[in-house]
Chains A and B, each alone.
Chain A
């Protein structure tokens, strides 16, 4: 049983560019959440998708957007990249909207230069 898979694993982008990160949830899970983990810090909640809709959003600007597909996979898009967007982006999947247990992917390391 594959766990949560994220792609790509590493990415280097230039300031002002746009990036798309992808996540496939654990088999049987229908909820996907995205987190940003800056170096030396704990993960910060970006948003959560359930039933193809954004259900809750953290304190992130509109440059951060997402999508969930009918097969429950998800994308995170970041526009107009800033140097401060450099971080590890983590995807977590769970069943329903009750986070009694969330499974995390290995993350995508984004570097903005």
Chain B
């Protein structure tokens, strides 16, 4: 079975400061890794994904994440945040080549940006 742990439930940062949202996963098989963002009263939008290859993945809105297999981590980073980045962020995994492909989500990290 797979599981995802987001280590911080809330992360407050000042505008234009860098931010890192932490994510660790557990799986006995290889997984795909994702970060989704959810703005208030909206669905989920894919920020970025790691399927294979380069461990540094760049996504939309200036976000990037690094896959670390030895530490089973997939932390999300942005060098300079904007007020519009205020949202809930979810780390997630799925198992490739399985009979079905459900996505398993972490509990989320609320990013709040202070002016």
Contacts and interface: CB of A to CB of B under 8 A. Distances in A.
A52 to B, nearest CB: 14
Q: Say whether chain B's binding surface is mostly helix, strand, loop, or mixed.
A: loop
Given A42-B90, A55-B99, A55-B100, 5 more contacts: A42-B108, A43-B90, A94-B101, A100-B49, A103-B46
Interface of A: 4, 33, 35, 40-45, 48, 50, 55-56, 58, 90, 92, 94, 97-107
A58 B100 CA distance: 11
A56 B44 contact: no
A99 B94 contact: yes
Contacts of B96: 98, 100
Interface in B48-91: 49, 51, 90
Give the residue among A40, A98, A101 with the most B Cβ atoms within 10 A: A98
Nearest to A92: B103
B100 A56 contact: yes
Contact of A42 (B45, B102, B106): B106
Nearest to A102: B103
